[in-house]
Amino acid sequence: MSDTSSHGGGAGARPECVDVVVVGAGFAGLYALHGLRERGLTARGFEAGGDVGGTWYWNRYPGARVDIESLQYCFHFSPEIREEWFWSERFASQPELLRYFNYVADRFDLRRDIEFNTRVVSAVFNDVTNLWTVGTDKGDTVKATYCIMGTGLLSAPYSPPFPGVEDFQGEWYHSSRWPHEEVDLSGKRVGVIGTGSTGIQIVQTIAPEVEHLTVFQRTANYTTPGINRSLSKEEQRAFNARHDEWLGDVHGMFSGQTSEFPAPTKSALEDSAEERWRWLDERWVRGGHPQTLLYAYNDLMADQESNDALCDFVRAKIRSIVDDPETAELLCPKDQPMGAKRVPLEFGYFETFNRDNVTLVDVKSAPIERLTASGLRTGGAEYELDVIIFATGFDAITGAMLAIDIRREGGPALEELWADGPKNYLGLMVAGLPNLFAINGPGSAGIKANNVLGVEHGVEWAMNCLDHLVANGFDRIEAVEQAQEEWMAHSNEVAEASLVSKAGSWYTGANIPGKPQVYMPYFGGWDRYLKICEEAVAEGYRGFHLSRTSGKADRRTVAAQ
Ligand code: NAP
């Protein structure tokens, strides 16, 4: 499957040396390019996809939709964007998100700095010149003093290496490489492998269209109901009117997201069983991002007994929706705390299993053995299929960065530095790799809060840092090894102290055979994370080593060489 749609990007000769190379044209890449241009810095952007949008460019499978409220899951830096753009739904669909990206790229004329259909394959830092040499799959290279990696958390798709894929005579697709042209599933026997957020969205969307849908589930998932609705312009104007106050509130919250319910102050165990049911049900019927439920009490992610009570509630809901008791039982997650894996938002998913044309197959007890010419074989049976959809996830958080040969000349590659799991300082920089900013990478808190806020924070931190370097005559910043060690120890400690690390998932690397297992996001709280990053800056970039290397500290001078 290849990517067929593409945008030409900017025209004209490209400078061979710039201040900054920006990798990716999703939220991070676009905001970084905008920030750099505002500072008069030269930049070149590279994007493997054919146009802007990042995850929303690639994930165009049926039913793709955001699970954080649209008003929160968007850029917050620009009052112009907020005034001009209106979301049509509480949870925007992928096509609307893609329109948003196009609007932002046009609004700030960002495409002229981006080369599309161009994958960055290497980035090598030279200590003497203080420059990164960035190579692409087209064979081009560009030099830059700084690199900003906006490569995304969920951008390296994972397909289990089932034998027989080449034998299968039907069509197969990975959800994250869905074709741009329409895929007609009507009247077809379709199999979906995977029941994470993606599989759930696909299943609930295509079931009415296909002749028969077979859902291959390995692990059942806790979910919460989305309850989508249209948004009025008045509602958005009201949100915008108190936007800055809202942002202040969010930045003071552990969860990094607001809901219509106030932040919790009591333990789940303080309520009687009846009170707890009422309290949780009030949130369940209103729907919203899973955090609405996960933060219904203040100890759901800290105390097993409290979390068990939440799990009982969700299982009771599933059993009340699904008619067939055996299917309902299979759909009830049992072997993990709720919230340890990312909780998908569903829109009628469980009701789908009451349809006559939908079958649930447990591939934990009878794993998928292989694809055959006419379908798929598990330990238990053979399934005849016309189309197979892999909703099998991503080599998340580190996969896209590790696909690039990143190293300091003569030094170890990032792959070696991260051989036991990703290490960095504040989720922002990796010791040993100067002048390279990772946006919303491992160790950052946006992953567990709101990714767009995470991206905005990472980009703004990098921009402020560049301002500081220029103002003080520096041209190099590097994370200090000791600070990195301490940060990693703290990050591991807060994850271990909670229930989030108690299940294998893409957060821990467990979904990829052989990947080192570490809880990769920072789970000390969005509010605490912001404070720690701010304090490091206020204390003169504590934990970073800043230096002047060339005597030509103005990056524009370096870039012009
Ligand atoms: P995922 O959560 O990693 O789910 C992958 C699914 O594939 C799991 O059900 C997994 O089973 C299954 N699987 C993997 N290998 C398998 C094998 N060999 N045999 C059988 N089943 C196998 O990936 P995802 O659903 O693409 O979601 C990833 C993340 O993307 C989400 O958590 C979310 O953050 C984001 N996302 C968000 C939205 C949204 O609503 N905005 C939508 C889609 C995705 P196991 O659980 O047993 O490993």
Q: How much is the pLDDT for 12?
A: 63
What pLDDT was estimated at residue 321?
98
Tokens 């799991």 found at: 421
Q: Are residues 552 and 454 in the same domain?
A: yes
Q: Is 511 in the pocket of ligand 1 (CB under 6 A)?
A: yes
CA distance 346 to 348: 6
The residues facing 9 across adjacent strands are: none
**Is residue 450 in contact with ligand 1, taking CB distance under 6 Å?**
no
User: Can you give the pLDDT at residue 289?
Assistant: 83
Residues 451 and 530 in one domain: yes
Q: Do 211 and 350 share a structural domain?
A: yes
The pair of structure tokens assigned to 375 is 């379908």
- Supply the range of the domain harboring residue 179: 159-221+344-393
CA of 463 to the centre of ligand 1 (A): 33
Report whether 189 contacts 385 (CB < 8 A).
yes
Determine the straight-line distance between the first and last CA of the chain, rounded to whole angstroms. Answer: 41
Cα 445 to ligand 1 centroid, rounded to whole Å: 20
Residues in contact with 501: Cβ distance below 8 Å, sequence separation at least 6, in sequence order: 340, 495, 508, 519, 523
The rounded distance, in Å, linking the Cα atoms of 239 and 243 is 6
Q: Is residue 531 part of a domain?
A: yes
Question: Which residue, 356, 374, 393, sits at the end of a domain?
Answer: 393
Q: Is 66 in the pocket of ligand 1 (CB under 6 A)?
A: yes
Mutate which of 198, 338, 378 for ligand 1 pocket (most atoms within 8 A of beta carbon): 198
Single out the residue in 374, 393, 412 at which a domain terminates: 393
* Global pTM value: 0.95
CA distances (Å), 207 to each of 67, 103, 277, 326, 355, in order? 20, 32, 31, 20, 8
Question: How far, rounded to the nearest angstrom, does the alpha carbon of residue 440 sit from its chain's CA centroid?
Answer: 9
**Residue 538 forms part of a structural domain:** yes
258 in a structural domain = no
Contact 149, 441 (CB under 8 A): yes
- Let me know: does 257 contact 291? Beta carbons within 8 Å: yes
- Establish whether residue 199 lines the binding site of ligand 1, counting it when its CB lies within 6 angstroms of any ligand atom: yes
pLDDT score at 62: 98
CA neighbours closer than 13 Å in the CB half-sphere of residue 248: 4
- Token pair in block for residue 448: 């567990």
Q: Residue 371: beta bridge partners?
A: 376
Q: Both 461 and 524 in a single domain?
A: yes
DSSP 129: T
Question: How does residue 380 score in pLDDT terms, banded at 50, 70 and 90?
Answer: confident
The confidence band for 97, taking pLDDT boundaries of 50, 70 and 90, is very high
CA 179, chain centre distance (Å): 21
Has residue 183 been placed in a domain? yes
The per-residue pLDDT of the chain, averaged, comes to 94
Q: Using a 6 Å cutoff on CB, does residue 193 contact ligand 1? A: yes
- Give distance in angstroms: CA of 473 to centre of ligand 1: 46
Residue 11 has pLDDT above 60, yes or no: no
Number of domains in the chain: 2
| CB distance 76 to 456 below 8 Å | yes
Output the CA 431–ligand 1 centroid distance in Å.
31
Q: Are residues 168 and 140 in the same domain?
A: no
Alpha helices in 242-370 (DSSP H): 243-251, 273-286, 291-294, 304-321, 325-331, 349-352
Q: Return d(Cα 348, Cα 333) in angstroms, integer.
A: 17
Do residue 418 and residue 446 come from a single domain? yes
Query: Is pLDDT above 60 for 551?
Result: no
Mind listing the pLDDT tens digit for each residue in 301-313? 999 999 999 999 9
Statement to judge: residues 135 and 37 lie in one domain: yes
Q: Where does the pLDDT of residue 262 fall: very low under 50, low under 70, confident under 90, or very high at 90 and above? A: confident
Per-residue model confidence as pLDDT tens digits over 194-214: 999 999 999 999 999 999 999
- Provide the 8-state DSSP code for 134: E
The rounded distance, in Å, linking the Cα atoms of 518 and 458 is: 21
- Span from the CA of 198 to the centroid of ligand 1 (angstroms): 6
At residue 4, the pLDDT reads 35
| Chain segment 115-132, per-residue pLDDT in tens | 999 999 999 999 999 999
CB 170 within 8 A of CB 315: no
Q: Looking at 7-16, 24-33, 252-261, 390-399, which range is the least confident one? A: 7-16
Half-sphere exposure of 387 (CA within 13 A, CB side): 20
- Of 4-18, 28-42, 345-359, 372-386, the range with the lowest mean pLDDT is 4-18
**Span 137-147, average pLDDT:** 97
Looking at residue 387, which CATH number applies to its domain? 3.50.50.60
Contact 146, 467 (CB under 8 A): no
202: closest CA among 349, 76, 58, 302? 349
CA of 304 to the centre of ligand 1 (A): 24
In angstroms, what CA-CA distances link 523 with 48, 425, 498? 30, 14, 8
Is 447 inside a domain boundary?
Answer: yes
Q: Do 473 and 412 reside in the same domain of the chain?
A: yes
Asked if residue 11 and residue 37 are part of one domain, the reply reads yes
| One domain for residues 144 and 165 | no
Share of residues in the chain with pLDDT > 90 (%): 92
- And the tokens for 30? 């676009």
User: Is 232 inside any structural domain?
Assistant: no
Last residue of a domain, one of 375, 393, 411: 393
Residue 278 located in a structural domain: no
Task: Judge if 116 and 194 occupy the same domain.
Answer: no
In a domain, residue 146? The reply is: yes
Q: Which residue has the higher pLDDT, 557 or 84?
A: 84
Is 351 strand, coil or helix? Answer: helix
Residues 378 and 401 in one domain: no
